Structure 1
Amino acid sequence: MAVYQVVVCALLPTPRAGLAEALAVVTAEQIEVGREAPVWSVAGALWLIAAVAAARRGDAVAAAQRLDHTDRLAARLGEDANHRWTAFGPTNVAIHRVSVAVELGDAPAALIAADSVELDRLPTGLRSRRVQVQLDIAWAQAQRRRDAEALVALLEVERAAPQVTRRNAIARDTIRQLLARARGASGAAVRGLADRAGVAV
């Protein structure tokens, strides 16, 4: 991962999130004029971070504009690559569209965006991206009260990265929602997942 991303990602979950967003935007603007694929990848990754940052502060317009910009950079790159460990490409942009919708609390938009994600196109080894989109889908399905679909997505998360269902706040909150509504045969599967994750109502 490029040093720019490391700094921005470190600042984003802190009270200096505004600085992280500004740094991501300024740096991306400066470097994307380069002519090499790795530079486009770093710029694109920074724009994706900036899109998520905008969504977290409720600015849907800025988030959408930044995602559209990354679409153009990904088209210029022309592939799903992992230059400088950025995992940037069309598929990662599609994954971030789902995440941005989740950050904005828009479950229908998240599910629509998820339909465009082709996880099989990601370079091998990028497990965290695959897990993130399944986690976002689980959250969105739970908001729509489609509990069976949410459970399937959570089980995929658990299969790929069991530590996520035990430690991630969104995963645990989603499991808690499903547990509170658990009924019938599917209820046993929800309770089993909750037990393994250490989640109680």
Structure 2
Amino acid sequence: MVLITDVRRLASSRAAPINRASTFIDLAPSGAPASAARGVLHLRAAILAARIGDTELADSHPSAAVEQIRPGQERANYYGTKFGAANVGIHRVAVPVELSDGTTAVTRTATIRLPRGTAPSRSGHYWIDLSRAWLLHGDHRHALDSLHEARRIAPQLTRYHPQVRETVYALLD
């Protein structure tokens, strides 16, 4: 699996659990549950790659995750992943935010429509990331509006999330 090779390139101890998990998933029979797990691993690897600044690798993993989407996967919630198109879309916005590229993140939001029933924690985190994207883009009004939306959807997540505090401090500054 390409995931193992790519993740090994990550110079982080955080990649070790992803490597082990991808090795075990490769042993699993093919099907929607294994595809969901593979897709989630690609999304986690994308965030890790973005955090170490590897843009090419970070952008390749969401594309690989799309290939793992199977009909009904998100509704079935295999292994608690709720993996599906909405999750991939959320990560397509999160990756450029982690790369400090607010403009790309804001541009990608034009194609994102979170379906009804998206978990509040997922939707809330999406809006937190979108707030960070708007801040990086230089639009403080939209950044604040996005934080308000995150708070409406997932108040506890928004209240205690460290990235929210950092965003608020930056807005105040």
Which band: TM-score by shorter chain? 0.7 to 0.9
Scaled by the length of structure 2, what TM-score is found?
0.82
Aligned counterparts, 1:112-191, within 5 A: 112-120=107-115, 124=117, 126-180=119-173
* Higher relative contact order (Cα pairs below 8 Å, separated by 6+ residues): 2
AA aligned opposite 1:27: A
Contact 2:100 2:136 in 1 (8 A): no
Runs of 4+ in 1 over 6 A off after TM superposition: none
1:39 has 2:34 as partner: yes
Q: Which deviations, in whole Å up to 9, do the C-alpha atoms of 1:107-140 show, x marking residues without a partner?
A: 011112222221125xx26111101110111111
**Percentage of matched positions with identical amino acids:** 32
| Residue number in structure 1 paired with 2:102 | 107
Q: How many residues align?
A: 160
CA distance in structure 1 between the partners assigned to 2:105 and 2:135 by the alignment? 12
1:48 has 2:43 as partner: yes
1:90 has 2:85 as partner: yes
CA distance in structure 1 between the partners assigned to 2:56 and 2:137 by the alignment? 24
Instruction: Tell me which of 36, 58, 62 is aligned to 1:67.
Output: 62
Instruction: Using the TM superposition, name which of 133-142 and 168-177 deviates more.
Output: 168-177
Q: Which deviations, in whole Å up to 9, do the C-alpha atoms of 1:150-193 show, x marking residues without a partner?
A: 1111111111222333322211121222233xxxxxxxxxxxxx
**CA apart distance, 1:54:** 0.9
Instruction: Using the TM superposition, name which of 143-152 and 31-40 deviates more.
Output: 31-40
**CA apart distance, 1:69:** 0.7
AA aligned opposite 1:38: P
Contact 2:131 2:143 in 1 (8 A): yes
Contact 2:43 2:88 in 1 (8 A): yes
When the two chains are superposed, the root-mean-square deviation of aligned CA atoms in Å is: 2.1
1:18 has 2:18 as partner: no
AA aligned opposite 2:102: A
Runs (5+) with no aligned partner, structure 1: 1-16, 181-201
Runs (5+) with no aligned partner, structure 2: 1-10
Scaled by the length of structure 1, what TM-score is found?
0.71
CA distance in structure 2 between the partners assigned to 1:110 and 1:79 by the alignment? 27
Instruction: Tell me which of 17, 27, 43 is aligned to 2:21.
Output: 27
Contact 2:49 2:58 in 1 (8 A): yes
